[in-house]
Structure 1
Amino acid sequence: MKLTRVSLAPFYVMVVWVFLASCVSCQRPHVVKIGAIFAFDSVIGKAAKPAIEAAVSDVNADPRILNGTELKLIIRDNNCSVFLDSISVFQVIAEEVVAIIGPSSSSIAHMIGEVANGLRVPLVSFAATDPTLSSLQFPYFLRTTPSDSSQMAAIANLTDFYGWKEVIAIYVDDDYGRNGIAALDDELDKKSAKISCKLPLPVGFDENNITVALNSSKLRNTRVYVVHLSPDPRLRIFKVAQKLGMMTSNHVWFATDWLSVTLESFSAKDQVLLNSIQGVLGLRQHIPDSSRKKELLFRWRNMHKKGSIDSPLNVYGLRAYDTVWAVAYGLDKFINDQNNVTFSFNHKLIDMKASKMQIGKLKVFEGGAFLRKEILQANFTGLAGQVHFDASERNIVNAGYDILNIDQMRVRTVGYWSKDFGLSVSPPETLRRKKYSFSLLDQRLQTVIWPGGETEKPRGWVVANNEKPLKIGVPYRVSFVDFVTENKSSHEIVGYCIDVFMEAQKHVPYDVPYSFELFGDGHFNPSYNELVNMVYNGELFAGDQNGYGGLLQLPLTSCLTYEHLGPVEEELDYIREGPSDPIVAPGCMVVAPNCTVVVSDDTVEEQNCTKVALDPLVVGVTHIMAMVEGQTAPSSLLWPAGQR
């Protein structure tokens, strides 16, 4: 039997090829690049840059993570410019980075987010808080800081806690400002409150822009302000408000977390600026104390003494540090799962022939979707607290906010806000350990010092500026002149009804600008129906949403003279079904011999319409329904004296 010799060479070649291929696929890369893009010279950037560099150094020194792989940082300064950032992002991505940390600006994040989508590079921001960045439009955008939706919920909770139903919003007119205030509008709506006026400021606003905006707000009755700006070391908004006399006890000022970040950046010589923000309430991201946080603060102080850094560490510096670790943990898991760090050309970019920008050289990160998934699954305790993402919106799960109150030269923490527990005087982590059961009735804060140094809660509104006085219609009659008429010599409006009005006005705890408007020619008795129609049409009443209407809306449902008197039930039915559009305001009075209406102050705290006993000669029925922004005050029927 003859044996045939078979060559095993092809088999051995195949085995060696499979072995080498498997070795290549499992081999850990020696170096992996990550990018970082933000404004170095901003309040946030001054703390973020050294924090990111320290985090990269710490990751590389820790053998428990990325063992055998070095993390290399490619960092660029965008100088707070969308134009310059559009160049920087391509420069960074051309270095074949697997993730980008930043930016610190929401407007810039919108632009980079589109690039990150196209090249499948996860974009992880530590400071871009615009809520719309969580939309499905930006699947590769993640953030290790809370969305502004969270702090706007806290602001809405504060306004509701103190009983204010309207606020004036002041914000920078960009994606960050507009979308943040839109979130505030949504949160206030849940509390049956609203933004009565929006005052946008240009991106590069100056003190003149602020002055114009604040002066325009004086024509409104609302005195509760919510300020949503970028960090401003000069605190210009409050400096101008102080000059305009708007930091007094009649005003309420809320600031989102831009103020706390600004204050954290202050040096000792800057503390004098606290005088301009007496009584302001602000938010600060709640950061639990930890040994790791204290260690970094100790290192930070040493670097500051050596002159290697010139800015204090703030909350966004802590967030930036944690962001590097979140990317590192995701990358470690990505590599351990035997994924390769590989890039490929996009043929559509090559076909663009954009030689000057060299767009054709940009590569798509093939493992971008997998790395994004691994980062979203990160769950560790960082310097700023627990780092854990809400997978649906790709935001970090928010720990809550500290409620800050500026009292003279001190910044006091008067309470805390969290989604789970609302407002409390104990930190959220303490309440969780105690397994605290949340109730709206348990919400409380420590004593707040308001503008002007007062501890009593401000009313939050005033009667609008004298430029829009309350117009009071006065019938110019030829009979019953003792009730109301014009003095022929002095041309003053006098009479019994005027005396009642003047006396009632003394009990109103604020100034009511008004003017008497004669109705009729004095030769014939005017038509009361026409007078009421003029009130209905707004000809004799200056109360609108810019003036009195936001304070107290009083639909005049019926004004009846002796000619209209009938069975009480009939009149009440007429009143209930009558028109409700005509509006009068606090202190308003419709003056007529047979019908006198006096309305005094009716705030949220004191809902007691004043009842005025009329002279027996005045025969009439008047019914007023008082409605205070979502609440119905007790109504008062004014009957002829002795007939109640």
Structure 2
Amino acid sequence: MEQHSFVLPIILLWVLLSGFVHCQTPAVVKIGAVFTFDSVIGRAAKVAIEAAVSDVNADPRILNGTELRLIMEDANCSVFLGSIGAFQVLEKGVVAIIGPQSSAIAHMISQIANGLQVPLISYAATDPTLSALQFPFFLRTVPSESEQMAAMADLIDFYGWKEVIAIYVDDDYGRNGISALGDELEKKKSRISHKLPLPINFDLGYVSNLLNGLKVFGTRVYVLHINPDPRLRIFRVVYKLQMLTSNYVWLATDWLSATLDSFSSMDKTSLSILQGVVGLRPHTPDSIQKRDFASRWIKMQREAMLKSGLNSYSLYAYDTVWTIARSIDEFIKVHKNITFSSNINLLGGEATEIQFDKLKVFDGGSHLVSILLEAKFTGVSGLVQFNSDRNIISGGYNVININQMAITEVGYWSNYSGFSVVPPETLEGKKENERSNLNLDQKLNNVTWPGGKTDRPRGWVVSGNERPLRIGVPKRASFVEFVTEQHDTHKIEGYCIDVFMEARKLVPYDVPFTFKPFGDGHSNPNYDALVKMVAEDVFDAAVGDIAIVTNRTRIVDFSQPFATTGLVIVAPIQNAKSRINDDFRGPPKRQLVTMLLFSFSTLFKTNQEKTVSPLARMVMIVWLFLLMVMTASYTASLTSILTVQQLSSPFDGIDSLIASNWPIGYQVGSFAYSYLTDSLYIASSRLVPLASPEAYERALQQGPTNGGVAAIIDELPYVELFLSEQTDFGIIGQTFTKSGWGFAFQRDSPLAIDMSNAILKLSENGDLQKIHEKWFCKMGCPGEMRHDSESDQLHLISFWGLYLWCGIFSLAALLVFLFRTVCQFVKYKRRQNEPPTPSSLESSGNHCSQVIYNFFDFIDEKEEAIKKIFTQFDNPSGQS
């Protein structure tokens, strides 16, 4: 009994002691840091990380009673050494690793972190592929590169550039970042025209040769995505090669801002070689914490404790330590302790500096990652909160411009408001509809570009004489008025060539070019093949009647159409006018003479009763003659109008032609064949290739029953030129597949826009029509034959001769009438024998006036007498 009473207190004491041990928090929690100490980002990050660890240990609200101990290893810019450093900190029992700053090293250490289930939190590795599900233990307190490349693509699109050249370091960071940029540019219908990778350890001679080779390309917008470089070696080469002139645009990712922010004040003279460069800097909102940290940083600089300036990655590194510390604090509150277990797969290693049996799996690693992803607090870099891809939610970017040895902020970018001159945090609180309006009104302050200009650079130039624009020209064998190469002189000429040459004069820069004939000259070349050559960069541009390809292909871009075209049907026609004219009785001239004689006899009979004055009768006869001629002529013209346009054909359009099963002709080399077979599903056995206008005429005359064709389907300009010399054929039905001829360029070629504007100017000033008349109106413009009926129609101007004779006759009658009247007036005054009065002698002026008044009185009296005569004729018996 006594023995049992002694054992029971011992058991109770052991239980109490065991519970006390398990409830006690660890005295030390270790975290590791693997990064390159001697680098632009590493020098600043090291100071920030050490400062953050010190601040955490000094704050009783975080890890109260537990020391946060930091173990750092230098990766020395090497994947191999970085991996060794990761193993060295892991064997010391760390619960999280900070870093690395290199994306390439992060890929390797992430694999190690996965195996030991230790969270890896980077403040600088921005490779977008690190967000893959392959790396569940990788997080980062810096925005992913995909976010920055979205901002860069928006910047390129904001200034209207469609092509850029990407220069990047050839590692995971560079390759994957530029790949993300290409994806973002594709959304904006822009592209990276050339990608130029650089070795990680490049020399200046290599860079100089590479940049010299860029001058042959027309694109002048460069995106530079490399590692931070305190010596700015690439820009020194750029400056030496005179590639910072007004024709160039240099855009840099945030490596440049990190480099410049790390400069000491005495080093900023290096900005002189960056005149006009535009870059991005991660946006960190202004706050009390940030200002206090910046003041503390400046104080350490003054005390010579550090040489690097404060950059964005310093802020991210500082907040990374606090994020880990807060999460460990939450973890300990739940688990009370931190435990590791052995991994059988890691044992059995040979004796080396790294003892694999010391590597333990962090039992609570997955839970700590979950706590980290739920973090949300405001740090010196702004809001610290992770998204679903385990990246910190981006605060946006500042757009910076180097001008006159100073860094100027010209605006801000965020993924919800685009570009503005207002910080993103100011816009974040606005309502959704207000933000939508901001997206429509993108704005940045003025930028000073290379060369000191503030006007937006065009962003591209036409290649120089050493690499002229190569223009593919079809060597046509028929319809050579449009474009061809002369066999004897090898001169390229034609309507399309003249349009190109005139449009080139209106382009606001010189366009060196050379013609590249396409085809054998014995048959018309295939235009689809020519366009494909343009798309595949065999030619830079194609000149010729590209025609309907404008609306059918998406592999090239086309200029503004300079000629309207479309497919039409040409067939033999029969004019119905002759059959209708047979219904008239007698020849038209005999009918007209008979009508006139009848009218004159009736007129004379009427005038014997009514008209007294012979002059009046003569004038009336002339005007009635004119009336008769006009009436008969317009009757004949109306009959012609109603009959000449009635054309007889076995079919009336494309639908009835398709249903007829008759053979159909088409021009060799035209797109008509593929259109008829692929779009209209006409059997290829019905289609007959024809090579020339002579072949057109022969096939149509033979007809479908004699080895010819029932109709030909071709483009309108060719048909108009063919019909200008033919009267037995015509266009049946309406034009279909309407489009226009243009010049074909490679996709997104900026020259296509300027050429389109030039063609519009040619159309507005009338030069385009003059070129058309030069080539197609030597023997009458094409298409005029189809409108000959208009020339046969009568207009008022058609009777100008009759009008002239009637006017002369009427004027002569009037003059005779006046002469006779004056003579009668003189006789009348003499008979009166009126003596002169004193008033009549007062002045000659009054005398003339009196004579005129007397003359008009005489006419009035004569008119009354004439009226009495007419009254007597009307009432010969004198009845009232």
Fold in common (TM above 0.5): yes
TM-score, structure 1 normalization: 0.83
- Deviation string 1:172-197 (CA, Å, 9 cap, x unpaired) is 11111111111112222222222222
Alignment of 1:136-147 (within 5 A): 136-147=133-144
Q: Is 1:413 aligned with 2:409?
A: yes
Q: Tell me the secondary structure at the aligned position of residue 107 of structure 2.
A: helix
Name which of 294, 314, 317 aligns with 2:314.
Answer: 317
State the alpha-carbon separation in 2 of the partners of residues 338 and 442 from structure 1. Answer: 52
Cα displacement (A) at 1:343: 1.6
8 Å contact 1:473–1:531 — kept in the other structure?
Answer: no
Partner of 1:573: 737
Alignment of 1:585-604 (within 5 A): 601-602=754-755
State the alpha-carbon separation in 1 of the partners of residues 68 and 556 from structure 2. Answer: 59
State the alpha-carbon separation in 1 of the partners of residues 782 and 398 from structure 2. Answer: 53
Cα displacement (A) at 1:572: 4.9
Partner of 1:462: 461
Alignment of 1:34-183 (within 5 A): 34-183=31-180
Partner of 2:621: none
8 Å contact 1:125–1:142 — kept in the other structure?
Answer: yes
The structure with the largest helix share of the pair is 2
Partner of 2:376: 379
Q: Which moved more, 1:500-509 or 1:175-184?
A: 500-509
Partner of 2:525: 530
Q: Tell me the secondary structure at the aligned position of residue 160 of structure 1.
A: helix
State the alpha-carbon separation in 2 of the partners of residues 95 and 364 from structure 1. Answer: 12
Partner of 2:400: 404
- Deviation string 1:141-186 (CA, Å, 9 cap, x unpaired) is 1111111111111111112222222222111111111111111122
8 Å contact 2:504–2:758 — kept in the other structure?
Answer: no
State the alpha-carbon separation in 2 of the partners of residues 609 and 509 from structure 1. Answer: 13
- Deviation string 1:603-626 (CA, Å, 9 cap, x unpaired) is 7x9994743112435239xxxxxx
State the alpha-carbon separation in 2 of the partners of residues 258 and 86 from structure 1. Answer: 24
CA separation of 1:548/1:146 partners in 2, compared to 1, >3 Å: closer, same or farther?
Answer: farther
- Deviation string 1:15-36 (CA, Å, 9 cap, x unpaired) is 3333223222221111111111
8 Å contact 2:33–2:98 — kept in the other structure?
Answer: yes
Cα displacement (A) at 1:383: 0.8
The amino acid that maps onto 1:461 is W
Partner of 2:588: none
State the alpha-carbon separation in 1 of the partners of residues 753 and 155 from structure 2. Answer: 28
8 Å contact 2:272–2:404 — kept in the other structure?
Answer: yes
Cα displacement (A) at 1:248: 2.3
State the alpha-carbon separation in 2 of the partners of residues 479 and 384 from structure 1. Answer: 71
Q: Is 1:583 aligned with 2:744?
A: yes
CA separation of 1:471/1:418 partners in 2, compared to 1, >3 Å: closer, same or farther?
Answer: closer
Q: Which moved more, 1:304-313 or 1:17-26?
A: 17-26
Cα displacement (A) at 1:471: 3.5
State the alpha-carbon separation in 2 of the partners of residues 72 and 514 from structure 1. Answer: 69
Partner of 2:443: 444
Q: Tell me the secondary structure at the aligned position of residue 506 of structure 2.
A: coil
CA separation of 1:545/1:319 partners in 2, compared to 1, >3 Å: closer, same or farther?
Answer: farther
Partner of 1:202: 199
State the alpha-carbon separation in 2 of the partners of residues 123 and 225 from structure 1. Answer: 34
Alignment of 1:9-24 (within 5 A): 11-24=8-21
Partner of 1:544: 537
Name which of 269, 273, 276 aligns with 2:270.
Answer: 273
State the alpha-carbon separation in 1 of the partners of residues 273 and 392 from structure 2. Answer: 34
8 Å contact 2:556–2:744 — kept in the other structure?
Answer: no
8 Å contact 1:141–1:394 — kept in the other structure?
Answer: yes
Cα displacement (A) at 1:14: 4.3
Q: Percent identity?
A: 51
TM-score, structure 2 normalization: 0.62
8 Å contact 1:487–1:494 — kept in the other structure?
Answer: no
- Deviation string 1:468-506 (CA, Å, 9 cap, x unpaired) is 4323648699999999987999x9878998776544322
Partner of 1:616: 773
8 Å contact 2:275–2:403 — kept in the other structure?
Answer: yes
The amino acid that maps onto 1:419 is N
State the alpha-carbon separation in 2 of the partners of residues 261 and 431 from structure 1. Answer: 26
State the alpha-carbon separation in 2 of the partners of residues 606 and 438 from structure 1. Answer: 36
8 Å contact 1:461–1:551 — kept in the other structure?
Answer: no
**Unaligned residue ranges in structure 1 (runs of 5+):** 589-597, 621-637
CA separation of 1:247/1:24 partners in 2, compared to 1, >3 Å: closer, same or farther?
Answer: same
CA separation of 1:517/1:118 partners in 2, compared to 1, >3 Å: closer, same or farther?
Answer: closer
State the alpha-carbon separation in 2 of the partners of residues 116 and 607 from structure 1. Answer: 63
Q: Tell me the secondary structure at the aligned position of residue 132 of structure 1.
A: helix
Q: Which moved more, 1:53-62 or 1:429-438?
A: 429-438
State the alpha-carbon separation in 2 of the partners of residues 146 and 248 from structure 1. Answer: 33
Cα displacement (A) at 1:105: 0.5
The amino acid that maps onto 1:393 is D
Aligned-residue Cα RMSD (Å) equals 3.8
CA separation of 1:41/1:518 partners in 2, compared to 1, >3 Å: closer, same or farther?
Answer: closer
Q: Which has the larger radius of gyration?
A: 2
The count of aligned residue pairs is 602
8 Å contact 1:220–1:547 — kept in the other structure?
Answer: no
8 Å contact 1:476–1:486 — kept in the other structure?
Answer: no
8 Å contact 1:477–1:520 — kept in the other structure?
Answer: no
Q: Which moved more, 1:247-256 or 1:75-84?
A: 247-256
State the alpha-carbon separation in 1 of the partners of residues 538 and 325 from structure 2. Answer: 54
State the alpha-carbon separation in 1 of the partners of residues 189 and 71 from structure 2. Answer: 48
Cα displacement (A) at 1:64: 1.2
State the alpha-carbon separation in 1 of the partners of residues 522 and 112 from structure 2. Answer: 71
State the alpha-carbon separation in 2 of the partners of residues 429 and 545 from structure 1. Answer: 50
Q: Tell me the secondary structure at the aligned position of residue 524 of structure 2.
A: helix
8 Å contact 1:221–1:551 — kept in the other structure?
Answer: no
Q: Tell me the secondary structure at the aligned position of residue 206 of structure 2.
A: helix
Partner of 1:241: 238
State the alpha-carbon separation in 1 of the partners of residues 234 and 400 from structure 2. Answer: 18
The amino acid that maps onto 1:432 is E
8 Å contact 2:56–2:68 — kept in the other structure?
Answer: yes
The amino acid that maps onto 1:510 is Y
